[in-house]
Chains A and B, each alone.
Chain A
Amino acid sequence: MAHSLKPECTPLKHKYDACFNAWFEGYLSPVLADQAEPDRTRALQEKREEYDRTCGKVWEAYRGCLSGALTQKGLDDLLQQAREENPLLEPESAEARR
């Protein structure tokens, strides 16, 4: 797994990545992908709660560690500019991708 841009945060980042990866594996399980409504929405809700429960704390710790690092490297303005140009809050439609 790759390092954090702020070396002190790498251990927390690895912890968070490991947590996310474990959760993600379950998230992609065929059971969830192939379920019909309303079971799917319920399963989705459970998975979201599980994520918050298991990875929420380490995520916050990692985020806290990282804060300030972007400013220090002069990246926050560049990032802000990129977000304004293209927020990418939703996937582009299939048509737009072609």
Chain B
Amino acid sequence: MVQYFSNAFHYDHPWANVQMGMWQKYPNPQCAHVISVDVLNRSVDPQTGIIRTERLLGCKQAAPAWAVKFLGGTADAYVREVSFVDPHSKTTTIHSVNLSLSDYLTVVEKITYVPSIAFPKTRTTFRQTAEIQARPKLWTSVGAKIELMSLDRFKQNAIRGKEGFEGVLRKLFGEDNTQEA
């Protein structure tokens, strides 16, 4: 019993700008209302130049309030996020998983940002997948219900996250690029 979600769209900003924006505000559907962001580890690979960053995102609990109460969770939820930014291949991959309530439910999200094939200099393709799975600890029928509710929440936040991030990019780099050039 796993719920899947996938999504793809583009940002009308060059890959490098999207990456710079990412550190300032990153649209994580698991963390629509960010309270805190901390960098736990960061390294630059001497051979490949890939930057690995492990961050801890604190957010207002994304699970439905009744579920949090039922499972004995807290108001704040935390997400571990590991990203790899490869400046050479211009590929960013981000993996995030919830830490809070993870005994009951895991939401694994994977994101990639690459330059668009059609407009590599001005447009960035975003791909996102999520796997939402209730753990055996959770009573089956309740588990199924929570999986579906989490999926709904994730979908809503994915849309909000895209809109929010577009706003940040506009603020940082001006209006979206036009596609002539």
Contacts and interface: CB of A to CB of B under 8 A. Distances in A.
Interface string B74-116: 0000101010101110110101010110100000001010000
Q: What DSSP secondary structure best describes chain B's contact surface?
A: strand
A91 B34 contact: no
Contacts of B91: 91
Using C-beta atoms within 8 Å of the partner chain, give the interface range for chain B.
Answer: 35 or more
Contacts, number: 97
A79 B46 contact: no
Nearest to B99: A78
A83 B99 CA distance: 11
Contact of A45 (B19, B34, B46, B102): B46
Contacts of B167: none
B90 A33 contact: yes
A16 B39 contact: yes
A88 B165 CA distance: 25
Contact of A48 (B38, B44, B87, B102): B44
